[in-house]
Amino acid sequence: MLREYRRALMRMRPPVTLLALALLAALVVPGWLSQRTAAAEELKRPVAVMFTLDRPLDGSMAPVALAAGHGLFGAEGVTVTITTAKGSPDAIARVASGESDIALADINELIRYRDSGGSQPVKAVFVLFNKAPYAIIARKSRGIHGLADVDGKTLGVAEGDLSIRLWPAIARYNHLKPETIKLARVGAAVREPILSAGQVDAVSGFSYLSAINLRDRGVPAADLAVLRFADFGCEAYGHAVIVNPGFAAKQPAAVRGFLRALTSGLQLAIKDPAAAIPDVVSRMEDGSRELELERLQTVLADNVLTSDVRRDGIGGIDPARFERALDQIGDDFKFHHKRPQPADIFDDSFLPPADSRLVN
């Protein structure tokens, strides 16, 4: 009798076990599916990005305007709000404080910032200008046709001008006599007007800004000598995308998506500069299509589509060249802390795939 009872009990256990499993699944599976659905929705939800330009938008920033206007940022899962800073130091400060997540700023100013006490480990992740736009813009009618002619002349230097920071290295490299050159400190708003009025012989500035602005003010192109530092030994890179370190750590996919969108915008600008200008002037006050097209074409030719970029693609750096640029920065700027290495300033881990960064 006892043996038969045990056999009956054993026959009853599988249905009980199956019933328990069924009840457990009814309780657990919906919760699991709900979590999976929530996770999927989280991945789809756009990441808000506060992006800062270091100066008011113009033709040189067409890739940003195109990425925003053509929905390229949105397609990469980021919602971008664009703000404007008062120069590169301000843009860097905003990123360092977390007020901005990403910014476009002069990479050489970032190098100087990183050497300051208490600086945050902000890094560049994408170089937009492969060559810095630093230049001396002079009037040929004032006797300046080449760099050597600057000796003994008066050079207007605007407050906050970054070009003049590399001038000592360029003067030394080209065997000039900087002590013979008079530097006239002026406000940024009057830099081009005082040159067009003949109050100085030349000014320092960005080639795509000052030279084009002067032509717009009526100075004949034939009377302008644009002496680009890059043509006289300057190794410096120019504007780059920089990222708040906390944001980069928490939202690496958003940083990569932002850079993919910017790369696509730059490729569009390279392919058809004229088609990019409507997106630019629509975001400007009283923007001139003709003027901004000339500005964009100048930037592409002089600062973006360099031999390095045509060989290696847009966005990255050559570490050996970066080392030489650091040496040149040291001619004007004394590093108070350890001289940085390229990897201290530039992080290439967020760059889009190499094939998407190649140009024809």
Instruction: Tell me the per-residue pLDDT of 307-360, one tens digit each, with 9 for 90 and over.
Output: 999 999 999 999 999 999 999 999 889 898 889 999 999 999 999 999 999 997
Residues 6+ apart with CB under 8 A from 18: none
Return the number of other C-beta atoms located less than 10 Å from residue 119's C-beta: 15
Bridge partners, residue 102, by sequence:
51, 243
In order of their start, the domains of the chain are 47-131+237-357 (3.40.190.10), 134-232 (3.40.190.10)
Q: Residue 59's closest CA among 295, 298, 268, 304? A: 295
Cα separation, 213 vs 188, in Å, equals 13
Return the number of other C-beta atoms located less than 10 Å from residue 221's C-beta: 10
| Residues lower than pLDDT 70 in the chain | 1-43
**Structure-token pair, residue 93:** 């400060």
Residues 6+ apart with CB under 8 A from 186: 156, 157, 158, 159, 194, 200, 203
**Structure-token pair, residue 113:** 């910032």
Cα separation, 146 vs 136, in Å, equals 10
- DSSP 3-state of 118: coil
Cα separation, 147 vs 228, in Å, equals 9
**Structure-token pair, residue 108:** 């050489």
Give me the pLDDT at residue 31, please.
Answer: 55
What does the DSSP assignment read for 305-323? Answer: S-HHHHHH-SB---HHHHH
Give me the pLDDT at residue 13, please.
Answer: 47
Give me the pLDDT at residue 337, please.
Answer: 82
What's the pLDDT tens digit per position in 16-46? 454 444 444 555 555 544 544 443 444 479 9
> What's at 127, amino acid-wise?
V
pTM over the 0.75 mark: yes
Cα separation, 41 vs 29, in Å, equals 18
286: left (phi over 0), alpha (psi -120 to 50) or beta: left
